[in-house]
Structure 1
Amino acid sequence: MLQAVNRPGARPNPAHSQGMVATGTRTLYVAGQVGIDGDGGAADGIEAQTRAALVNVESVLTAGGMGMADVAKLTVYLTQEEDMAGFVRAFTPCLPSPPPAGTLVFVKALASPQYLVEIEAIAVR
């Protein structure tokens, strides 16, 4: 079970909670997933890559007997600051309520120059 924890007086953020209390007995660590399809090709643009990366995260969660509602923490890596708005448009509607704790980091590059976003997850059930 997950319970959101935020600083007293903090404004609610639809994209992440400041903390999550996890009381489950199983933990699944999802390695960074990038925006590629089943054939290994990168999706076109930040919104498509974000949706594809989330599908890939969800596929690993499902294989582990979990779902997005079990995610306690997400870490997101973006390669371009100008992609932030497109990322948020694609990312936010896919989050459970309350949203998991999250960290977003801008990095110089990912494993391939075609990758714009990578998403890691920690899920507990």
Structure 2
Amino acid sequence: RYPNQAVVLRAAGEGNWFHQFRAVTLIRISPFPYILYNYCSVATRVKYGPYITGSLLGMVPEVFVAIYTGNLVKTLAEASSAEEHGLSVTQIILNILGFLGTVATTILITKYAKRQLETMKKEEEALLL
């Protein structure tokens, strides 16, 4: 079901520390199920150091989006309560721009990760030929 990521993960097990780190980070950023990825990384020769650091760095965008979205929902909930005076036009515009910027950045990072994974897959296929 995920042949591109499987090829990259197999290749990552064969590479040096940075190659493994890069593969782990890119796969964590891409939409690849964590449970399946964890199983595959154990089955390959990805070392502990690149796995942990790549996982931590690769999960930052997702965590940032979750935190920002939660904060935005909290702000909107507080603004809609009767006790608060509501949000000013400037605050509304800044919240919308911040949310759109977060979504756009996440999309760009995901596209970059997919492109890099495709490059790594082609490099691995070239080595096998």
Which has more strand, going by share of residues? 1
Greater relative CO, 1 or 2 (CA 8 Å, sep 6+): 1
Give the structure with higher Rg (CA): 2
Q: TM-score, normalized by length of structure 2? A: 0.31
Which has more helix, going by share of residues? 2
